[in-house]
Structure 1
Amino acid sequence: MGVFRIGFFNIFIYLCCAFLYSVPNVCGHNNMCFDCIDLEGCKAPKHFLKYMSAVDRDKVVLRLPTDKPDPMMDRCLNTGYTIKATLNGTVCSGSSDGLCHAIGEATTNFTITYSHCGDCYIACDCYSQENGNARKEGPIILTMCLAAFYTLIQ
């Protein structure tokens, strides 16, 4: 009889720990704002939201007055929004700092993190922001070269 009680007690403790572990996943606290080097200077409007997965559209919602602030997400999302569930894909967001941020399910896998950052690099059009000056200088240099060539031919 004593062995049965110890076994039942161990199963009860295991189930309690499993329940406590699953609570953050159900409540949406298993999301992470990634520190992407590629997005450091990439600008995005304050209310910018781009979903890489259609199932995540209903997970980013307006914050209710009863919702507790989440400092980890507040730096990535506009202050009026919160995430109510764990994300399946990537959400690219603008925030009050005017930059583009990548948000996804928390992970320590570098490949997945790099994928989230890459998705937002494309969604926020960071490439054109970095090379904006080069795109403006290219036609000017081409025009100057053509003018010099025309002068040499004359």
Structure 2
Amino acid sequence: MNKSGPIAAACTLLLAGCLPPPPPVPKTTPIPYPSRDTRKVSHPAPRAGRLSVIDLSSFFELQQTGSLLVYDVRPGFVQAFGTIPGAISWPKGHYDAALATHRAEIRAAEKAGKRVVFYCTDADCPDARAVASRVAALGHDVSILEGGYADWKASGLGD
């Protein structure tokens, strides 16, 4: 039986206590690393545009002076039954596909001092409000024709 194992371990412990302590680890100045500030830069939110309603009388006056940009948001098959003269087709279902083109038209109209108006089938149709709300959220002031195409037609203006 080899007894040197436990004796050697005990001797090592005794001798280790006689050794001077190791030198202290020098304190170093940390090396600065390039900052990676991952916080998002805060930009002011774009101004939301205003959404209003325009009555048929005011609409007609502005239309006669060329002071409107008018969008018909009804589906194409419905527009085939009649539209307000000068209206540009922008069906709600094609909103995303046509946004870039129509947004350029809206900016040009705003610069020219024209009012931007959306209309749908009648007062119960939600499409004009849906499209106009999305455009207003992009920062444009827009209106909805009160009563839509049905009121236009009923007034005798659409004949």
Q: Same fold (TM over 0.5)?
A: no
Greater helix fraction, Structure 1 or Structure 2: 1
Q: When the two structures are superposed, what TM-score results if normalisation uses the length of structure 1?
A: 0.26
